[in-house]
Structures are given as structure tokens and as C-alpha cells.
Amino acid sequence: MPYRANVSEFRFMFDHVVGFDQVAATDRFGEATPETVDAVLTEAGKMCEEILAPLQRAGDLHPARLENGVVRTSPGFSDGYRAIADGGWIAIAADPDHGGMGLPMSMTTAVNDMMSAACLSLQLAPLMSQGQIEALEHHATDEIKDTYLPKLISGEWVGTMNLTEPQAGSDVGALATKAEPNGDGTYAITGQKIYISWGDNDFTENVCHLVLARLPGAVPGTKGISLFLVPKLIPDEAGNPGVANTLKVVSLEHKMGLHGSPTAVMQYDGAKGWLIGKEHDGMRAMFTMMNNARLGVGVQGIGAAEGAFQHALAYAQDRKQGKTENNNITDHADVRRMLATMKADIFAARAIALANAVAIDMETATGDADWAARAALLTPITKAFGTETGMRVAEMGVQVHGGMGFVEETGAAQYSRDVRVTAIYEGTNGIQSMDLVGRKLMDGGEAAYRLLDEMESEAEAARTALPDLVDPVWQACETLRETTEWMVEHAPKDRFAGSVPFLHGFARVLGAHYHLKAALADPDGPHQRLAAFYIHRLLPEHVGLLAHARQGATALFALSVEDLAS
């Protein structure tokens, strides 16, 4: 089934749902005119349809492999990556001083969504580079920027992120990789890192690893971690790839999905690296890349959901089963329910992600602390809800196919297998929810309350036009406000016990808000009908989710491990 890039949907959301006009009105992003946005999205969509989408099955059927220490990528991936790089799609938001387009993150987010829908395994490579580019822009020396950024932005070189070790997963502070000063401003990096997405390839000139390591005498935990840039090939004086560094790919993981994306175990044996940022301040620098990646991974989930939905819809429209009006299974109530749920949830998750990107753009353009707080608040919601949507939609896609969904040849199962890891990497979704009720409510809930004030104000303004949709949205906002107040008032243990349902309840209400805005912009159109479906059938889930969130930790931990094992 050919993938169709829904460029018109992104334009609709930019114009009517997520407030992109505010971004385009700033001096920083004044070049993001409607004409520019249309041109960029149209060309990116064409590339996704014609070049990336045909690679989706190839990556699954012919996985990346390690041969004699060399990573061999899936058939066609080299040409696909070259199309991404040559089109400038890696560096839409990167600094023009080093070759980037300097356009808003909102546009990068839309393009990443389309690339993820077309071929998620390959999209991971430019996503890693995007995060590294941002980290270097914020924390590297001018010399490092001048050497590495033009190559990363052009796609000649690719970036990775090295955090995890066999004994240090989410507990990053337990890492054991060492960095010893060489006496010439460089460092010798020694240790092993695992789960390194696109740790190597056979189509770029160099691979640039950002590696967390510990300097001699550093304190234990995350406060003693530093960040280093460790290239596969050490640049010579002219900035070209030179001698091989002392690092290697030990093995590639055998994974449930994303077979086209090589996930490497990396070994560093005194490899030469350069400090990024200050000594012992590596987590702050790495979080620049991680926050970029958390938005990007949420969008991966949404893109995968879009691909799965289009795949399921095409199958349902072609599948004849019983006597129905349209002579296909879309007329069966349960199939129609699943397809509508898929479509409505994708819209909600996509709107949250784009609103997150708009907040990042407004912070970049204005330096306003309120926009920074909005972006921070939306990041864990985007990551967790976007990836959960990807998993749910892909699973429903298998169900729509019926028995054929369980048969690999149809390709439906691949979406479910590929997207599953997105809820795990870049901070598990449980960690995202703890971040939301912990760090993101440390302001006493002010950022959340400002967002709720806007949501309720916009609902009130729409009461006359769409009263049947406004009232449930307004009431849901009030329930979310009360639950946020509960979270602010209670101890961390109680918050954490209800953090996952709180995040999903928050996302449910946010999704209704954006669906309502779409309905107002499209009266009597498909967005209005989709909004009615979401608000009347999916939004009610927030009641149970937020009630769950307010239960605290007592009953949860009263259920002992022995009880669970009995």
C-alpha cells in the first residue's frame, strides 16, 4: 500500500489548531511564510512517498548486519539517506551559519512525522543527527562547531547518542565509562555502551558519537558525568576524516522490530574524544540532545501510527466480508470504531506534538520564560502519548486486518513491532510521567494552570457555536485542574503512584481541546465530525484516568511483592 503524505493536514493544523501564526510573526522566523511552509512540506512529502516508503519492507526483510566489523545496511537505505541529506531535511532547524535552513522546529516536526510514517528505521538516523546538532550548537567550542556542524548538517557525517551501559540503563549515574586527559586538550575514552541507534553505517563518511563518561576524581552519580564527542574517524587538520579512532561495533542487537536500524554495542578503548560543555556538566549538555529526541521520538510514534492507519484503511476498503452498503468491512461497526479511533487519536497526539514544537520556537524567538515552561510541560506528554498512540494504533491496525494482520506478508505487524521500542528509549514512558508530576510541577503547577486557563477560555468562546462539544471539554478541564492541584499538594511518592494515568488523562483533555479548535475551523466538515467522535467517545476516559491518578501510594504499596508472587 503506497504511503500518502498528508501535507494538507499539517497546513490545517498550522493555520487553525496549534498557533503557528505566532511563530511566523516573529523576527526570528519571519521567513516561515505560508508559501515557504507549503513548499517545504510538499517537497518533503514527495520524498517520503516516492523514496522512503518503498524502503519500509526492505528494512524489515533484510536487516542491517555486521560483517567482519563492518555494518552493512538494508537494500536501498543508502539512496534513501542520501535523499534525506541532499534535500536538507536533516537540518531544517539548524543554524544557517553552518549550512542549516534556520526554519522553525515546528516544520522539522512535521517532516519527521512524515518520514517516520514512510520508513521509521531509516528516519532514526537523521533524528540522532538533529539532536547532536542542537547539543553542539549550545555547548561546543567554536572550533568543534566549525569542524563538525557543517558535516552533520550536510549529512556527510551522522551523529549518535551514547548513554546506556549494561549496568546503567535509566540510572545513568551508574555508568562506568572513563575519560582520562591526554594532556593536549583531548581525552581517552574507555568503556562499553549498548543500544546505540545507528552506531555505524556504510553510507556516511564518518560517525560522530556523543559519549557520557566520568573523569578521574569525579563524584558518584549524575553530577560527576561529562560529555565527549568521539568520532569514528579523527578529523585531520583540514577537517576531513583521517585515522581510525580506537572504537568498534562489537555486535548488533537482534530486535523485535526496527530491523533496518542497526542498534550497536559500542566498545571504546582509549578512543580520542573532545569535551563538550564543562567538566562534570555532561548531563546538562546531553539533556539538550535528549529533549530534542523526546519530541522526536513522540513524533516517531505518531508517524508510525499514521503509516499503520493508512495501511489498515486501505485494507478495509478493499476487504469484502458480508453484505454491506460499501461492499467492504468499513461498514461493520467495530471496524468503523477502530478506524475512527485511530484517526482521532493520531490527530490529538499530532496536535500536542506540534503545539510542543510551537512553544519551543516561541521560546527560541522571544526568550520568554512562559514559553520555555510550556515547552517543558508538553515534552513528556508528547513523548509518552505520542508513542502510546503509535502502539495502540498499530495494534488496532493488526486487528482491522483480522487473520491477515497476523501474517507477516501483509506488513501490518511490522508497524506494531517497529513502534514498540519508542515507549522505552529516550526515557521510558513511566519516567516521562514522573518527570511531568515531579520536575514539571515544581513551579507549583503554574505552567499547567496557564495552559488550562487558555483551554477553558477558548472553550467558553466557542460555547455558542458548538455547545454540545464545548461543555464536556470545559468540564474535563476542570477535572484536570483539580487533579493537578492534588498532585501539587501531595508528596512525590503519591504523585509517582498516579503519574502514568495523570499524564494520559492530561493528554486526553489536551486532545479534546485541539479537536475542538479544529471543529471550530471546519464547521460541518470532517474535522467537526472527527472532533465529535473524540469528545463524546474517547474524552470520557479522562474521568477514570484522573480518578486513578488521585489514589496515592498507600494501596499500591500495600500490595506486596509476595502478594504478586502468590
Lowest mean pLDDT: which of 88-102, 282-296, 368-382? 282-296
Residue 104 lies in a domain: yes
**Would you say residue 60 has pLDDT above 90?**
yes
Are the C-beta atoms of residues 160 and 196 closer than 8 Å to each other? yes
Residue 379 lies in a domain: no
Average pLDDT over residues 21-33: 97
Residue 284 C-alpha from the chain's centroid: 19
| Total number of domains constituting the chain | 3
pLDDT tens column, 336-360: 999 999 999 999 999 999 999 999 9
- Give me the pLDDT at residue 187, please: 98
Same domain, residue pair 113 and 180: no
CA angle, residues 46, 47, 52, in degrees to nearest 5: 125
**Would you say residue 476 has pLDDT above 90?**
yes
Catalytic residue of the set 426, 446, 454, 485: 426
Residue 120 lies in a domain: yes
- Give me the pLDDT at residue 1, please: 59
Same domain, residue pair 134 and 219: no
**Would you say residue 291 has pLDDT above 80?**
no
Are the C-beta atoms of residues 348 and 381 closer than 8 Å to each other? no
pTM above 0.85, yes or no: yes
- Give me the pLDDT at residue 160, please: 97
**Would you say residue 305 has pLDDT above 90?**
yes
Residue 459 lies in a domain: yes
Residue 557 — left, alpha, or beta (φ > 0 → left; ψ -120 to 50 → alpha)?
Answer: alpha
| Percentage of residues of the chain with pLDDT beyond 90 | 94
Which of 103, 118, 153 finishes a domain? 153
Q: Grid coordinates standing for 403? A: 487473520
**Would you say residue 190 has pLDDT above 90?**
yes
Which of 250, 281, 312 finishes a domain? 281
Which of 120, 153, 186 finishes a domain? 153
- Mean pLDDT estimate for the chain: 96
Our answer to whether residue 363 is catalytic in this structure is no
Q: In sequence order, which ranges of 267-332 are alpha helices (DSSP H)?
A: 282-318
Same domain, residue pair 107 and 202: no
Average pLDDT over residues 421-443: 96
Same domain, residue pair 133 and 163: no
Domain that holds residue 59: 7-153
Same domain, residue pair 89 and 225: no
- Give me the pLDDT at residue 29, please: 98
Same domain, residue pair 82 and 195: no
- Give me the pLDDT at residue 325, please: 80
33-71 per-residue burial string, b: 16 or more CB within 10 A, e: under 16: eeeebeebbeebbebbbebbbebbbbbbebbbebeeeeb
Q: Is the dihedral of CA 130, 101, 141, 368 positive or negative?
A: negative
* DSSP classification of residue 54: G
Average pLDDT over residues 118-134: 96
Q: Grid coordinates standing for 17? A: 489548531
Q: What is the largest CA-CA distance in the chain?
A: 79
If pLDDT is split at 50, 70 and 90, which confidence band does 222 have?
confident
Best CA proximity match to 125, nearest among 298, 308, 289, 263: 263
CA angle, residues 538, 543, 549, in degrees to nearest 5: 120
Which phi and psi angles does 192 have, rounded to 5°?
A: -120, 135
**Would you say residue 322 has pLDDT above 90?**
no
Residue 106 lies in a domain: yes
Same domain, residue pair 85 and 161: no
